[in-house]
Amino acid sequence: MRNLDRITNPFNDDKVIANCGIFGVMNTAGGKMSGRDVIEAMANMHDRGNGLGGGFAAYGIYPEHPEEYALHVMFETQRAREETERALQEWFRIGAQEPIPTRNTRGIANAPILWRYFVEPLQEEAIPPTPDGAIALTPDDYVVDRVMVINTSIDGAFVFSSGKNMGVFKGVGHAEDIGTFFCLDEYQAYLWTGHSRFPTNTQAWWGGAHPFSILDWTVVHNGEISSYGTNRAFLEMYGYYCSMHTDTEVIAYATDLLVRKHGLPISVVAKVFAAPLWQDIDRMPSPDRETYTALRQVYGSLLMNGPFAVIIAHQGEMIGLRDRINLRPLVAGSKGDLLFLASEEAPIRLVCPDVERTWAVQGGEPVIGRLFEGIVEPGVDRSAVYEEPCIERFYGHKGQREVHSLSGMRAAM
């Protein structure tokens, strides 16, 4: 055993910085899946976590509340709950509220008070006129603002999920135990993501587990964002405040800013987070070179430095992305209408033994699965050979080389 330790940990490091396990599955035809398979997939990657955090996001789980924001909130004290509920009654119409169902689970202890509220902004509060006649807040803007107020101003209260017809479930423990604790085997969703945490630079607490969420955007992440300070400062200029004490939070907020508020397509957002190297940009043909240069100049503070692999999801879409030099693993798989993303191939084959194909996601190239459209971006070099008709439709003949083409991105913008 000592000899094995010398090979696997030659410098006697007390942490494993390459760990964390991520998993995602989407039925692009909209079919619902039980959370049981996702729990099993995360259990397969048990050793990627150390029991200090796990969580899941599920989409399509509240069909009885399709137009209400589902606020999942954790409270450290009853006083925090009472203060939060007074604020919610002032800001929102509360259609329903209840404790989030849980069950006694070995390995899960010291859980906070967990509650969910289905709310709609009061019209006069959600769209207040501005003194200078500027464009008023949208309901989404208002919800984001109220979430930030709760998370930064009410001691002991944390909103950890705030989208419509979706929810985040997370806490301290192994991922499979968290899934059992939250009774996720009883939920049905068309899109699931999961995370097993191995914290390296931050403390383990219930709010710091993944996924991180704002509105219906969720992020699960394996890696370390060394640009966190720069990213955080940029986001604070736009009213996003990081209160969960972990670098992954900036990815969720940055995605919401770029897609919802700035109107960028997710394929362009991927090129902001994992931008091509300057030496590659210099070799691009015009006007691609000008477009990438502009992205780096305008959004340079949202470049995600450091090793990472992420699965980003929102209603109708799942995206996988790795850092541009492939320092963290991410594998994709597909069968029929199903798209899988995972840190390893093993959990994909566990839950889908007859998966039709698997492939390694290329650094800086997003995998995008879209509801009713299938796989619209495969996340690989465009010279790769594929048999999938939808991929041929997007990238032309098999084996054709198309490097850094942004025509589709500019059209989308």
Higher per-residue confidence, 402 vs 193: 193
pLDDT tens string 41-54: 999 998 888 878 89
pLDDT tens string 80-93: 999 999 999 999 99
Q: Report the C-alpha gap between 132 and 318 in whole angstroms.
A: 39
The arithmetic mean of pLDDT across residues 362-371, rounded, is 96
Kindly list the strands in the beta sheet with 113-121, ordered across the sheet, starting from the edge strand earlier in the chain. Answer: 92-99, 113-121, 69-75, 157-161
pLDDT higher than 50, residue 2: no
Contacts of 394 (CB under 8 A, 6+ apart): 376, 377
Q: Phi and psi dihedrals of 329, rounded to 5?
A: -80, 145
State residue 90's pLDDT score: 95
The arithmetic mean of pLDDT across residues 384-392, rounded, is 39
Residue at 288: amino acid letter: D
Residues forming beta bridges with residue 59, ordered by sequence position? 166, 191
Q: Report the C-alpha gap between 13 and 44 in whole angstroms.
A: 24
Burial class (CB in 10 A: 0-12, 13-18, 19+), 275: buried
The arithmetic mean of pLDDT across residues 362-387, rounded, is 81
- Considering 20, 183, 242, 390, which one is annotated as catalytic? 20
DSSP 87: H
pLDDT higher than 60, residue 189: yes
pLDDT higher than 60, residue 223: yes
Does the active-site annotation cover 20? yes
Least confident piece of the model among 4-8, 166-170, 353-357: 4-8
Domain ranges of the chain: 2-61+165-412
Enter the pTM of the model: 0.86
State residue 382's pLDDT score: 53
pLDDT higher than 60, residue 121: yes
Q: CATH assignment of 2-61+165-412?
A: 3.60.20.10
Q: Report the C-alpha gap between 170 and 168 in whole angstroms.
A: 6
Residue at 143: amino acid letter: V
Which run of H or E residues covers position 27? strand 21-27
